[in-house]
Amino acid sequence: KTSVTALNEKNKLDIHAHLSQEFKLPDFIKSDNKLSAAQKGTVMHTIMSQMDLKENIDQAYLRELAAQLEYNNILPAESTAQIDLGKIESFFHTDLGQRLLKAENIYREQPFTLPVKVKAADDQECTVLVQGIIDCMWQEEGGWVLLDYKSNHINRQNTSEFIQNYQAQIELYAQAIREIWQEPLKAAYLYLFHTERAIEMKITE
């Protein structure tokens, strides 16, 4: 049996360290080809993780940031022209986006390793190590707020099915926050860039 504390020490996981400003460009978006939907999602996540939340986040700022990321080879040339920066700007006009801007203790692209008990094929219980990356989390009065954002193109009719597919992932992230940070989770959200919709997820205690 491995405790979370021992696991953190073993993996040298500093749960209070902010994300490094040095990014390695993913191999799958190094080509000059048109980006796939998944690759566009990577570009949007990179922009969300690299922006200065103290700035006035409007189209002018986002275009300047995009140019800097491409110039510094954090993102490939002309990749940001293939995404809708307006969708990112719109997020910060939502109530959820405003809450993020007002927060002080913020973590973005936060990696974690968590031991999770599962049942093996022989119905015996065993522990596996699960690694993940939390898109964004911040502290408010009453606990942490978890935010996972998706850039997938989703029809409004299929939103319920999409949410169900990500329920287990959100539950795992919630478990990681409670067990590793040893603090309560106040709320968890999915934000859908395509439909500009924030969805509060139901999390089991």
DSSP 16: T
Which CATH code is given to the segment(s) 4-15+105-200?
A: 3.90.320.10
Compute how many other C-beta atoms are within 10 angstroms of the C-beta atom of residue 48. Answer: 21
Quote the CA–CA distance of 35 and 172 in Å, as a whole number: 29
Predicted local confidence at residue 1, as pLDDT: 37
Domain locations along the chain: 4-15+105-200, 27-101
Neighbours of 106 (CB within 10 A): 15
With b for 16 or more beta-carbon neighbours within 10 A and e for fewer, the 172-201 pattern comes to ebbbbbbbbbeeebbbbbbbbbebeebbeb
Question: What's the pLDDT at 148?
Answer: 96
Along the 205 residues of the chain, how does pLDDT read in single tens digits? 333 333 334 333 333 333 333 444 455 455 556 888 889 999 999 999 999 999 999 999 999 999 999 999 999 988 999 999 999 999 999 999 999 999 989 999 999 999 888 877 777 888 888 899 999 999 999 999 999 999 887 766 677 887 888 898 999 999 999 999 999 999 999 999 988 999 999 888 7
The confidence score (pLDDT) of residue 165 equals 83
What pLDDT shows up at residue 70?
Answer: 95
- Residue pointed to by tokens 């400003």: 21
